[in-house]
Amino acid sequence: MSVVTEYALSALLLIGGFFTLVGAIGLVRLPDFYTRLHAPTKATTLGVGAIMLASVGYFSSTGAGPGASEILITVFLLLTAPVSANIIAKAAMHLDEKPVAGTKGNPWEQ
Amino acid sequence: MITAALYITIGMVTLAVALNTYRLFRGPDAADRVLALDTLYINAIALIILFGIALGTHLYMEAGLLIAVMGFVGTVAMSKYLKRGSVIE
Amino acid sequence: MSTRLGFPQPFLSVILFCVWQLLGDGVSGASIIVGLVLAWLLPQLTRGFWPERPATRKLWLMPVYVLRVLVDIVMASISVARLVLNPRQPEPAFINYPVTLENPLAITILASTVSLTPGTVSADISDDYQVLLIHALDTQDPDQVIADIRRRYEAPLLEMFK
């Protein structure tokens, strides 16, 4: 494996880990349910995507050949993340989850 | 170099899993717990992939794929249950 | 009779076939045969659940749109990361977004895009598909958010779907 690939793969791995961690920190730190919803849908999806890319790159460079499963997992997560965010938000509105004080506008009645 | 990056990343994802677990137990509401579980399964996929890279094998990818599919179905089922009181109407 | 035995959803069939090839380890004679059978059987079995095939035009614009969304996902994650690591509390807002698209598939794509891109999650849609409820993580000006979404995402989708 060349030095450049090694650096690139390491960077991708660290970026992936960083965004996954940011998503989790957001889940703990943000003030109400609706703001917490943002962290996992965006940061975690990108984090796992970067880790998958690193995996594809790693297995291509070691000669094992890139696996198709990583790409399938990434595409699947990208497709399902908005759907699960939407359906959890609907459930939260049904449970009458209160938005944090200072939120402009109101959630709908379910 | 890449080994060090790999272990640092595994550490970060493990920390993320711990934080998610905190939110899972803390709540305060059922919707928050579902959200925490949703994030947890995605992080579990990341951990499995990293483990696969560390061992240099492709075998764990299938497990990751299965978790991705089952986790999504689980999230939808739980949200549906919270919203309607039953999963299949 | 021929319509009942054909491929009611050609796109779905192609996608199923490709996914089956990716799932196995490499393309072989067996995987092609099984893939063809699945690509025929699954759309047939689920045909009752599919809505009318959407009227599309200019579908070649789709790759450009997907690329733009992928770039925006990276931007979105960076901005969310900065917000999360910043000690200041965000200023969230619920926004009612009036949808001008009519095609259900186009609205689905728009809602998913909104969820994946900077600072916004689509939370609900009204029963007549006219208004989309969007939660913005940090915004001073809701009208600006509406204008951005309309310009960046809804205009290209309007061009793609009649």
CA–CA min distance A57, chain C (Å): 17
Torsions phi, psi for A97 (to 5 deg): -65, 130
Contact between chains at A43 and C80 (C-beta distance less than 8 A): yes
Q: Hey, where are the domains in chain C?
A: 2-49, 59-160
User: Are residues A67 and B61, on separate chains, in Cβ contact within 8 Å?
Assistant: yes
The pLDDT tens digits of the residues spanning C26-64 come to 677 888 888 888 888 888 888 777 766 666 666 777 788
Q: For residue A75, give how far its alpha carbon lies from the nearest alpha carbon of chain B (Å).
A: 11
Q: What is the pLDDT of residue B88?
A: 67
pLDDT for C50 equals 73
Q: Write down the H helix ranges in chain C.
A: 2-5, 10-23, 29-45, 62-85, 104-116, 142-149, 155-160
Confidence class of residue C4 from pLDDT cuts 50, 70 and 90? low
Which residue of chain A is at minimal alpha-carbon distance from B19? A24
CA angle, B33 as apex, A30 and B88 as ends, to 5°?
A: 135
Output phi, psi for C161, to 5 deg. Answer: -115, 135
- Specify the DSSP class assigned to residue C73: H
The nearest alpha carbon in chain A to B10 belongs to: A17
Would the pLDDT of C2 be above 50? no
Chain C interface disruption, residue of A15, A32, A38, most C CBs within 10 A:
A38
- Is the ipTM above a cut-off of 0.90? no
Encode pLDDT of C110-132 as tens digits: 888 888 877 788 877 877 777 88
Cβ B35–A33 below 8 Å, yes or no? Answer: yes
> Per the CB < 8 Å rule, is A27 touching B65?
no
Among the listed residues A24, A27, A26, A34, the one whose alpha carbon sits nearest the alpha carbon of residue A100:
A34
Q: What tokens does B2 get?
A: 């890449």
Q: What is the pLDDT of residues A11-28, one digit of tens each?
A: 989 999 998 998 888 888
What are φ and ψ of residue A103, in 5° steps?
-70, 130
A102 closest CB neighbour out of C73, C91, C95: C91
Order of strands across the sheet that contains C93-98:
C93-98, C131-136, C120-125
Average pLDDT over residues B11-24: 91
- Cβ-in-10-Å burial (0-12, 13-18, 19+) of B39 comes to buried
- Cα nearest neighbour of A15 on chain C: C78
Measured between beta carbons, the chain B residues lying within 8 angstroms of A53 are none
pLDDT tens across C132-158, in order? 888 888 777 778 878 888 888 888 787
Closest by Cβ to C23, choosing from A72, A102, A103: A72
Half-sphere exposure of residue A50: CA atoms within 13 angstroms, side-chain side: 25
Q: Which pLDDT score, from 0 to 100, does residue C18 have?
A: 85
Q: Which of C22, C90, C121 lies at the smallest CB-CB distance from A89?
A: C121
pLDDT value at residue C1: 37
Per-residue confidence at B18, pLDDT binned at 50, 70, 90? very high
Summarize the confidence of residues B45-73 as an average pLDDT. 88
Tell me the pLDDT tens digit for each residue of C88-106: 777 788 888 888 877 777 8
CA–CA separation, C81 vs C28, rounded Å? 44
Question: Which ranges in chain B belong to alpha helices (H)?
Answer: 2-26, 30-55, 60-84
Residue B17, pLDDT > 60, answer: yes
Read off the pLDDT of residues B74-88 as tens digits, 9 standing for 90 and up.
988 888 888 877 666
C65 phi and psi angles, rounded to 5 deg: -65, -45
Record: fold of C59-160:
Alpha-Beta Plaits (3.30.70)
Radius of gyration, CA atoms only, chain A:
18
Alpha helices in A30-67 (DSSP H): 33-36, 38-39, 45-61
The whole-angstrom separation of Cα C11 and Cα C9 is 6
Which residue from B19, C137, B24, C123 is spatially nearest to A32, judged by alpha carbons? C137
pLDDT greater than 50 at residue B19: yes
Of B78, A82, A73, A62, the residue nearest C76 (C-alpha): A82
How far does Cα A22 stand from its chain's mean position? 10
Task: Tell me if B30 and A40 make a contact (CB, 8 A cut-off).
Answer: no
Residue carrying the six token digits 């063809």: C36
pLDDT < 50 stretches in chain A: none
Inform me whether the pLDDT recorded for C79 exceeds 90: no
Q: Quick check: C155 and C146 in contact, CB under 8 A?
A: no
Handedness of CA C9, C13, C19, C23 (dihedral sign): positive
Q: What percent of chain B has pLDDT over 90?
A: 22
